[in-house]
A = this chain, B = another copy of it.
Amino acid sequence: MRIGELAARAGVSVRSLRYYEEQGLLTSTRSTSGQRHYTDRDVERVGFIQRMYAAGLSSRTILEVMPCVDAPSAETSDAAMERMVQERDRLTEHIAELVRTRDSLDRLIAVNRAHRKTLHKAPAA
């Protein structure tokens, strides 16, 4: 498929796909006229990339863990494995922090609700 279809299927912009290629995260075969062509597998790959971005990894870091995705059946480089475990742990810690933050938001909401109930929806002063 060409770049427009991949973009539509993966739910990203054409611009992003070119950027991913520029960053070495995505490769394409080129037709004689220079147009990029992709396979169905690339849809998943772009999805993976997007999730990594959403998890806070940079292009460079995603690139470092890619060997684990590309060659899970081969001798994945130690560096890539190490990086992936490291990012997994970082993500775990980040999730824990977000949960704590959400809890504090919950408490704040509860406190405000309690006060509003107390005031019985009194009008502004």
- Point out residues on A near B: beta carbons under 8 Å: 48, 51-52, 54-55, 68-69, 72-76, 81, 84-85, 87-88, 91-92, 94-95, 97-99, 101-102, 104-106, 108-109, 111-113, 115-116, 119, 122-125
Our pick among B87, B92, B109 for the contact of A84 (Cβ within 8 Å) is B109
- Is A75 a contact partner of B109 (Cβ separation < 8 A)? no
Task: Please name the residue on chain B nearest to A119 by beta carbon.
Answer: B75
Q: Is the interface of A mostly helix, strand, loop or mixed?
A: helix
Contact (A69, B108) CB under 8 Å given A74-B115, A95-B95: yes
- Is A112 a contact partner of B54 (Cβ separation < 8 A)? no
For the complex, what is the distance from the CA of A122 to the CA of B48, rounded to whole Å?
Answer: 28
